[in-house]
Amino acid sequence: MGNHKSASVIAGGILATGLLGGATGAMAYDTGDLIVRAGVASVQPDEDSSNLELNGVNLSGTGVGVDNSEALGLTLTYMLSPNLGLGVLAATPFEHDIKANGLGVDAGDTKHLPPTVTLQYFPMDPSSALQPYVGIGINYTVFFSEGVDSDLEGVLGSDGDLDLDDSFGLAAQIGVDYALDDNWVLNASVWYLDIDTEAEFKFDSGDRVEADVDIDPWVYMVGVGYKF
């Protein structure tokens, strides 16, 4: 909860700076403009999972937990018109620790990339220094470098492998740019991503542990951008 509040405070600070700075600026968004942004992105899962199943047997009171992760976030917006843009979210890989809730052990880890495309609407006059926007689109999440933690291997008494299905789902976004001059902007943005996967732990002993996981993270990013 603290991380969610911190990100909201930072985003609010940038918005307040824009309001104090005035409603108009030298920079104007126009058809064909490209705004490239970079900053710190934090993926904070709001996960929910089924009970773990061991060889098809439901383990009551168990589940999957996924830790937060931070990485370099990269976004761009191509302006289709003065008020509509096509946005893309990219990043360096996020790495998450996975826990076996109810068993009291670390279960594994994974890396993922969440490329996301949104259609963005900018309601302000194109010449405004303050440019809030909203977006809706799709997300495709690729999981890789999955591994099983030695804690879970110790419980099962065997080496194991982890497989996470890639995910395709909806995405929603809100954000704000504030122009510092003709080209440079401050940016804060938030995404909600629908990410669902099936986790399958396979052990050399033949044991299988499975669970369906709705990761559904909030993604917060604060950074700077440049308009080309």
Closest CA to 89 of 121, 117, 124, 65: 117
**Residue 153 has which token pair?**
């291997």
Domain that holds residue 122: 2-227
Tell me whether residue 174 is exposed, middle or buried, using C-beta atoms within 10 angstroms of its C-beta: 0 to 12, 13 to 18, 19 or more.
middle
CB neighbour list of residue 199: distance below 8 Å, 6 or more residues apart: 64, 98, 162, 163, 164, 210, 211, 212, 213
pLDDT single digits (tens) 97-137: 999 998 889 999 999 999 999 999 999 998 899 999 999 99
In angstroms, the CA 133 to CA 187 distance is: 11
* The total number of structural domains that make up the chain: 1
Rg of the chain in Å (alpha carbons): 21
What percent of the chain is helix, strand and coil (3-state, nearest 5)? 10, 60, 30
Closest CA to 171 of 215, 129, 210, 212: 215
Helices (H), 137-210: 150-156
Q: Which residue has the tokens 């930072």?
A: 10
Predicted pLDDT at 103 = 87
Going by pLDDT thresholds of 50, 70 and 90, the confidence category of residue 1 is: very low
Predicted pLDDT at 183 = 92
Write the CATH number for 125. 2.40.160.20
Write down the mean pLDDT value for the chain.
89
pLDDT single digits (tens) 20-58: 444 444 578 999 999 999 999 999 999 999 999 999 999
